[in-house]
Chains A and B, each alone.
Chain A
Amino acid sequence: MMDEKMIQLKNKINGEEAELFREFYYGRFFSGDITLCEEDRAATLTFHKGTCIDVAEGIPNTGIDIGVSGSKEDWEKFVTHKSLSVATNRGNSNNLTTLGGAIRFRQNFNVVAQLIRVYASIR
């Protein structure tokens, strides 16, 4: 999950996707970490006011801020629809699991949703 894909994700979210991410999905208000987990692999992207300033392998030593996890099959299902709402709707199968505090996650739902939608486009 780490390495080139995450660097590519950082570049996209700071580049061609930046305006949509920061404005429509309210990314400009987000500072913190978003951890993405697939199977036993994890990567964390650190943001400051909507700009991704760091990418690191694994979970931060301070613990998970917010993020999502899933199996390979869960992520493959996500790629087919690219919606975190769909991927967390309890009527659906192969859902992703949300990480972090429920309030913090809900406050930043759109930010995570758009980040992993962009990730799905390069996965």
Chain B
Amino acid sequence: MVIHGFYIKVNGVKVYCESNNGPDDGEVIICLHTAGRDSRQYHDMMELLNDKYKMIAFDMPAHGKSWPLPGNKVINRYEDYGKFVWEVIEELGVKDPIVIGCSMGGNIVYHLAQEYPVKAICSMQGADYTPTVNENILELLNHPYVNPQISHLEFTESLIGKATSQERKDFIFWGVQTEIGITKQGDLTQYNGFDVREKMEQITCPVLVIHGLDDKIATGKMAEETMSRLTNCRNLVYKPIEDYGHFINVENPELASQYLDEFIETL
């Protein structure tokens, strides 16, 4: 097991990070988890790539082992999410990061590439416009009469690809059981309000898009529409994956790692 954990402090918030202890003299990859979950989603990819790249995954505030914002608040605007990610990168002392993310993490990499000096991005199950979650579901994610760890089970199930192994499905379902209502509400609120379409032409860095096609909520069509607006990036690589779904970094880390490695080799 190569992964080890450590804490940093960002704006007074204790942030839990994990690294695969990859080479110090190579590229550094920053990994962003999906809504409500934590950095464990990257364990497999981190192990698969640890000989070649240093990878650092961290839990966003109020997720996993990171502290919430002061007053037990959560982030619920994508601009604040992007700003916090960049502040983590700065605190880690990483220059020219390659930032990868899945779902809401796959969205925010586009915002980061618009606003911050990233070297390259990889968007998994991301898009530049995701107004998909019903308002009443958002409200009931943090409600005294509704248990989000149970009420959201079928939502997660619907996102998993048909070819995913039972062991990996179990880990994804365990993720539902560990979610915090107010945290998930904040994540999906910023996900629902995510719209960076007008600035997509500002993205100039290389972009890798990995998309599990067995995802009926963040669909392949949404990824394709997003890519159509990437008119100025230096290199755009699209890797669709059949029969796997929304948690592609967990469902098929082998292919995701292979595609990421091939992409980084071209930088």
Contacts and interface: CB of A to CB of B under 8 A. Distances in A.
Asked if chains A and B come from one complex, the reply is: yes
B94 interface: no
Contact of B217 (A84, A85, A102): A85
B146 A89 contact: no
B167 interface: no
Interface residues of A, number: 20
A83 B140 contact: no
Interface in B143-166: 143, 145-147, 150-151, 153-155, 157-158
A86 B145 CA distance: 23
Interface stretch (B22-30, B126-134, B231-239): B126-134
Given A88-B134, A91-B130, A109-B153, 18 more contacts: A25-B153, A81-B158, A81-B216, A85-B157, A85-B158, A85-B217, A86-B158, A89-B132, A91-B132, A91-B217, A91-B219, A102-B136, A103-B145, A106-B137, A106-B140, A106-B143, A110-B150, A113-B154
Nearest to A82: B158
A114 B134 CA distance: 20
Contacts of B132: 89-91
Interface in A80-109: 81, 83-86, 88-92, 102-103, 106-107, 109
Nearest to B146: A106
Nearest to A26: B150
Contact of B134 (A25, A83, A89, A103): A89
Nearest to A103: B145
B131 A91 contact: yes
A90 B154 contact: no
A25 B153 CA distance: 8
Interface in A1-53: 25-26
Contact of A107 (B133, B145, B153, B155): B145
Interface string B109-138: 000000000000000000000111110110
A102 B137 CA distance: 9
B216 A86 contact: yes
B217 A86 contact: yes
